[in-house]
């Protein structure tokens, strides 16, 4: 009796399984939606970060748009850069020209608690846009980094963080050039620079030199010394603020050394060797640095 | 005793503290030697400056002309010379150009007896144009151009016109004083409004904590046999918001994203009605307003008629300065007002009060984590979920916050008032709205 019961159970479940299986097969056969295979290929070629820098909701919808709509450009993926654009081109059978150098974001301000003047102590939401609603932020300088880290929150790959001086800094090797931080920054101090840029003018203030002097020790005063020290470096003074034309590949280290307010800084920080560390370790660190 | 009507959902009972100033008559504030007149004092596009540095201006002369329909004129509050055009921040986060006028010359209007002008022959259209020219905006704080509010879409019927004398914000008494001292002017202004809107019914809403004002308005209506229904309302914040007033008076609810006209009503503050009277009957543009200077740190609280553009510092000085060091200076009421960080900030058309508050009054504390107690949900008069909205804004999901009703929030501050974790909820709402509007503009 028991054996029969078990057998019936097996048989009935097996029969049900068979019926559903046939049903599924029929459904997959007759209700199948034809999907372009290339969509899957494109999705695989994209980095899969879903950062939204292309203007679409994510990698999947960009891929769909590329395949279904004819006029969608193939070079919109900023994190992927030239490589991805080429891959997309080969999948879609189109010629893609991608000459632009990879851009990365960087904060053009080094005014912190010690160097910049503040109007008041800000208490409230830790968000630059929120602080901006209050008399344009706590800093006297209306152009500088407010330091509340809206960009840190919005970065999809955690490329932005406070550095050892407590100032916001972008790690250019992690940055995928999606530009989200540039969009959210209320003062416009976050700007895109070429990946290979050696120095930046870390100031965003277009006030006159005398005014800048009053509220920041490390602001650009527009003295134009950099244009004289490194005439081929592409330094241009505009609205009392030095800009760098990165298409000029000349030497910029003289300007770096001569800048009176030290607002021209390197994009890659020098490796600091802890003096208090054990002498042997310091030597080892020096060696490994040299080996690089 | 009949129960007074109020809005059914939410609301809080902050300490009123109106006794500091409610019995003090309105006085003229002294004229500022340097007026700072912002060109964007209203909702809508800023006025366009029509003077340049060095120009001599007369009292009440147009210095900013309206640009577009949702915009009003800005006038010089004092006679003098234009000293500079300055970019300033207003406490509500607006950045605007301001005309700085140094006092000089003679007053055309101040201290002279005013002739009333015949206005009965003017058409409604002419009157509305006059409002825009004279710079009339809602004086309750939102500063929405009145001529826009009084131009209901074709086909809509104005069943109710409500004069809003609720003044539910603690400390503020300026509207209260206007109702006591300018009652004739207010009802003269009402005649102008009747001509424009032709409402079926006029209601006068006053919160029950102002019995003398209720009595004054009622007896004025009786004496002059006016068809105005005076409605005392239960004391509860934010009773004075137009949506809450309408809910209490008519039982109807303004739909989400809608305007009072959608339910057949128009609401105006008593200050606005008084300004309409002055603009139409005295041809006086909006160059001064009644406001309350009060708070625990002010030596002699007062109700003042101050010129637009008067720096906050001067009004505080006029009230005897500080009796103790204030912890915070607020422009507007303590619930909805904005912190003033720069005492050169000028009085604008929307400034209903200047409060210097002591540490005990502002109850500042450190923010802690949300404990999901739901207090904010139970006090929100609009039935929103402030905790959820704040969370969404904090996680940069502005679209989600808008879907959850962010744009309906009117920043009344009830949620922040009750939050036991001291989370800056209203600041979060303001931030979310601002970013949403910015994103929408970009798209």
Q: In sequence order, what are the residues at sequence separation of 6 or more whose Cβ sits closer than 8 angstroms to the Cβ of residue A266?
A: A198, A199, A256
Residue range of the domain that includes B180: 113-281
* B341: chain A residues, CB-CB within 8 Å: 119-120, 134-135
Hey, what are B39's tokens? 């060109």
In angstroms, the CA A104 to CA B165 distance is 57
- pLDDT at position A277 is 46
Residues B267, B143 within the same domain: yes
Residues B139, B275 within the same domain: yes
Residue B208: pLDDT band (50, 70, 90) is: very high
Record: contact B394-A125, CB cut-off 8 A: yes
Strands (E), B167-296: 201-207, 228-233, 265-269, 288-294
Residue B439: pLDDT band (50, 70, 90) is: confident
In our burial notation (b when 16+ CB lie closer than 10 A, e otherwise), range B310-326 reads: bbbbbbbebbeebeeeb
3-state secondary structure of B407: helix
Query: Is B43 part of any domain?
Result: no
Interface membership of B95 toward A (CB under 8 Å): yes
In angstroms, the CA B97 to CA B28 distance is 27
3-state secondary structure of B163: strand
Q: Give me the percent of chain A exceeding a pLDDT of 90.
A: 38
Which of A275-279, B26-30, B348-352, B355-359 is predicted least confidently? A275-279
CB contact at 8 A, B163 and B265: no
Interface membership of A130 toward B (CB under 8 Å): yes
Can you give the CATH number for the domain in which B239 is found? 3.40.50.11540
Hey, what are B408's tokens? 């309906």
pTM of structure: 0.83
Nearest CA in chain A to B365: A123
Q: Give me the percent of chain B exceeding a pLDDT of 90.
A: 81
Span A130-139, pLDDT tens digits: 998 888 889 9
Residue B82: pLDDT band (50, 70, 90) is: very high
Domain limit, last residue, from B281, B309, B342:
B281
3-state secondary structure of B146: helix
Domain limit, last residue, from B219, B253, B281:
B281
Mean of pLDDT values over A253-272: 84
End-to-end CA distance of chain B: 56
Query: Is B2 part of any domain?
Result: no
**pLDDT beyond 70 at B117:** yes
Cross-chain CB nearest to A120 (options B89, B93, B341): B341
Residue A276: pLDDT band (50, 70, 90) is: very low
Residue A292: pLDDT band (50, 70, 90) is: very low
Query: Is B81 part of any domain?
Result: no
Span B146-188, pLDDT tens digits: 999 999 888 888 999 999 999 999 999 999 999 999 999 999 9
Record: contact A129-B339, CB cut-off 8 A: no
CB contact at 8 A, B175 and B270: yes
Residues B380, B253 within the same domain: no
Query: Is B365 part of any domain?
Result: no
Question: Domains, chain A, ranges and CATH?
Answer: 37-92 (1.10.15.40), 103-266 (3.30.70.20)
Residues B275, B396 within the same domain: no
Residue A291: pLDDT band (50, 70, 90) is: very low
Residues B148, B275 within the same domain: yes
Cross-chain CB nearest to B341 (options A125, A135, A153): A135
Query: Is B17 part of any domain?
Result: no
Domain limit, last residue, from B238, B258, B281:
B281
Domains identified in chain B, total number? 2
Nearest CA in chain B to A183: B439
């Amino acid at each position: 009796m028991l054996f029969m019961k078990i057998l019936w159970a097996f048989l009935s479940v097996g029969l049900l399984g068979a019926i559903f299986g046939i049903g599924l097969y029929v459904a997959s056969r007759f209700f199948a939606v034809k999907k372009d295979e290339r969509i899957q290929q494109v999705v695989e070629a994209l980095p899969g970060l879903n950062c939204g820098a292309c203007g679409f909701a994510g990698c999947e919808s960009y891929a769909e748009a590329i395949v279904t709509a004819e006029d969608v450009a193939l070079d919109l993926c900023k994190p992927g850069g030239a490589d991805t654009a080429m891959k997309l081109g080969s999948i879609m059978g189109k010629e893609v020209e991608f000459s632009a150098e990879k851009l990365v974001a960087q904060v053009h301000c080094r005014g912190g608690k010690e160097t910049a003047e503040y109007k008041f102590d800000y208490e409230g939401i830790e968000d630059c846009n929120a602080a901006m609603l209050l008399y344009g932020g706590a800093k006297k300088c209306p152009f500088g980094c407010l330091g509340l880290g809206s960009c840190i929150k919005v970065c999809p790959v955690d490329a932005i963080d406070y550095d050892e001086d407590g100032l916001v800094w972008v790690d250019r090797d992690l940055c995928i050039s999606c530009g989200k931080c540039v969009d959210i920054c209320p003062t416009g101090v976050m700007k895109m620079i070429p990946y290979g840029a050696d120095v930046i003018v870390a100031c965003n203030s277009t006030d006159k030199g005398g005014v800048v002097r009053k509220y920041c020790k490390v602001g650009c005063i527009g003295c134009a010394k950099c244009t004289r020290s490194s005439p081929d470096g592409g330094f241009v003074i505009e609205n009392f603020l030095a800009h760098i034309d990165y298409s000029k590949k000349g030497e910029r280290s003289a300007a770096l050394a001569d800048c009176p307010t030290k607002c021209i800084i390197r994009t890659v920080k020098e490796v600091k060797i802890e003096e208090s560390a054990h002498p042997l370790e310091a030597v080892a660190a020096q060696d490994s640095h040299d080996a690089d | 005793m009949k129960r007074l009507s109020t809005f059914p959902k939410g609301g809080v009972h902050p300490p009123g503290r109106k006794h500091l100033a409610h019995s003090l008559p309105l006085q003229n504030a002294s004229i500022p030697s340097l007026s700072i007149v912002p060109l964007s004092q209203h909702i809508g596009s800023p006025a366009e400056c029509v003077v340049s540095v060095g120009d001599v201006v007369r009292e009440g002369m147009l210095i900013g002309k309206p640009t577009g329909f949702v915009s009003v004129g800005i006038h010089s509050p004092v006679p003098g010379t234009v000293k500079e055009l300055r970019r300033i921040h207003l406490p509500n986060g607006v950045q605007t150009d301001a005309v700085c006028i140094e006092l000089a010359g003679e007053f055309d209007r101040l201290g002279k007896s005013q002739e009333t002008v015949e206005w009965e022959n003017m058409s409604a259209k002419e009157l509305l144009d006059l409002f825009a020219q004279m710079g009339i905006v809602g004086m309750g704080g939102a500063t929405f151009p009145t001529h826009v509010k009084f131009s209901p879409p074709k086909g809509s019927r104005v069943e109710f016109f409500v004069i809003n004398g609720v003044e539910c914000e603690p400390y503020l008494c300026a509207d209260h004083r206007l109702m006591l001292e300018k009652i004739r002017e207010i009802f003269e202004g009402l005649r102008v409004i009747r001509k424009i809107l032709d409402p079926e019914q006029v209601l006068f809403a006053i919160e029950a904590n102002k019995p003398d004002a209720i009595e004054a308005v009622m007896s004025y209506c009786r004496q002059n046999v006016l068809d105005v229904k005076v409605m005392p309302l239960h004391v509860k914040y934010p009773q004075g918001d137009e949506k809450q007033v309408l809910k209490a008076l008519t039982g109807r609810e303004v739909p989400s994203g809608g305007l009072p006209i959608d339910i057949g009503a128009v609401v105006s503050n008593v200050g606005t009605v008084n300004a309409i009277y002055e603009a139409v009957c005295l041809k006086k543009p909006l160059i001064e307003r009644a406001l309350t200077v009060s708070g625990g740190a002010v030596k002699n609280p007062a109700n003042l008629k101050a010129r637009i553009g008067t720096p906050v510092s001067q009004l505080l000085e006029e009230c005897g300065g500080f009796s103790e060091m204030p912890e915070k200076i607020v422009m507007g009421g303590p619930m909805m007002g904005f912190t003033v960080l720069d005492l050169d900030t000028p009085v604008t058309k929307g400034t209903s009060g200047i409060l210097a508050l002591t540490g005990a009054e502002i109850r500042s504390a450190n923010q802690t984590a949300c404990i999901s107690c739901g207090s904010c949900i139970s006090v929100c008069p609009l039935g929103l979920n402030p905790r959820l909205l704040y969370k969404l804004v904090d996680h940069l999901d502005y679209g989600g916050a808008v879907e959850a009703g962010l744009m309906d929030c009117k920043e009344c501050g009830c949620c922040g008032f009750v939050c036991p974790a001291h989370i800056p909820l209203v600041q979060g709402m303001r931030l979310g709205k601002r970013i949403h509007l910015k994103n929408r503009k970009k798209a």
